[in-house]
């Protein structure tokens, strides 16, 4: 068994003691990003604030974000399970990567390509600017795969999902109130939210 964190957001680097000593991998940038958080004196408080209150007491904090970064360019998760290709890309978070498990027809896309959440911008290199590049990277590995996770995108829906997300991102990029000046942590103004149901399709 092995774990793989698609990205360093708090809800994606949790672990449970019952998983034992299985390695926990991520891209090289994944633990590098967590290190900044763990260096803060109040990091536990910050993590708990981001968790659903009913779960916070059950999360073993000593196991939080203990991720081993794989060297840049690592092609596959080093484990003896189904071959899992690592597709690192910019967009939602630093070091975000999808896993393509071809023999199962599955793309584990972390917080990308959801049909219940709108695209969320969080990569410090340029939140909106890099998102289309992330979508292009996923498009290159999205042949005949389904995307489980936040919602469920079937193999016959994935191209449409990518197109919808791209249209959403382009609409924000081209909005004069937002555009290239958007910053990490930026939140969508209320009147833009009204269009989200349509974007989610
Ligand atoms: Zn996330």
Task: Indicate whether 50 and 103 sit together in one domain.
Answer: no
Q: In the chain, how many domains are there?
A: 2
17 Cα to the center of ligand 1, angstroms:
23
pLDDT (0 to 100) of residue 38: 94
93 Cα to the center of ligand 1, angstroms:
6
Task: Indicate whether 63 and 138 sit together in one domain.
Answer: no
Q: What is the CATH number of the domain that holds 166?
A: 3.60.15.10
Residue ending a domain, choose from 72, 107, 129: 72
Task: Indicate whether 158 and 120 sit together in one domain.
Answer: yes
Write out pLDDT tens, residues 42-98: 999 999 988 888 988 888 999 999 999 999 999 999 999 999 999 999 999 989 999
Residues spanned by the domain of 93: 82-201
CA distances from 92 to 40, 58, 113, 122, 127 (A): 22, 27, 10, 5, 7
Chain position carrying tokens 């189904």: 82
Asked if the structure places residue 77 within a domain, the reply is: no
Q: What would the DSSP string read from start to end of 59-92?
A: S-GGGTT-PEEEPTT--B-SSSSS--EEEE-SSS
Task: Indicate whether 158 and 62 sit together in one domain.
Answer: no
26 Cα to the center of ligand 1, angstroms:
14
Task: Indicate whether 4 and 52 sit together in one domain.
Answer: yes
- Secondary structure class of 3 (helix, strand, coil): strand
83 Cα to the center of ligand 1, angstroms:
24
168 Cα to the center of ligand 1, angstroms:
18
pTM of this structure: 0.85
Task: Indicate whether 68 and 86 sit together in one domain.
Answer: no
Given a cut of 50, the residues of the chain with pLDDT beneath it are: 190-201
Please give the helix or strand (H or E) that residue 144 lies within, else none. Answer: none
């Amino acid at each position: 068994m092995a774990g793989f964190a698609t990205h360093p957001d708090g809800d994606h680097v949790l672990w449970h003691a019952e998983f034992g000593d299985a390695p926990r991998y991520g891209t090289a940038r994944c633990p590098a990003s967590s290190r900044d958080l763990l260096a803060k004196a109040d990091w536990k408080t910050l993590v708990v604030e981001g968790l659903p209150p009913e779960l916070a007491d059950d999360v073993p904090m000593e196991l939080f974000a203990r991720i081993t970064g794989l060297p840049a360019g690592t092609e596959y998760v080093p484990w003896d399970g189904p071959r899992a290709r690592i597709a690192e890309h910019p967009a939602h978070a630093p070091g975000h990567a999808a896993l393509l498990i071809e023999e199962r027809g599955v793309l584990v896309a972390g917080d990308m390509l959801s049909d219940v959440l709108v695209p969320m911008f969080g990569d410090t290199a340029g939140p909106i600017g890099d998102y289309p590049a992330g979508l292009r990277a996923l498009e290159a590995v999205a042949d005949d795969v389904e995307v489980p996770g936040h919602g469920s995108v079937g193999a016959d829906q994935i191209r449409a999902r990518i197109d919808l997300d791209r249209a959403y991102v382009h609409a924000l990029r081209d909005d004069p109130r937002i555009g290239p000046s958007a910053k990490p942590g930026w939140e969508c103004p209320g009147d833009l939210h009204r269009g989200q149901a349509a974007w989610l399709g």
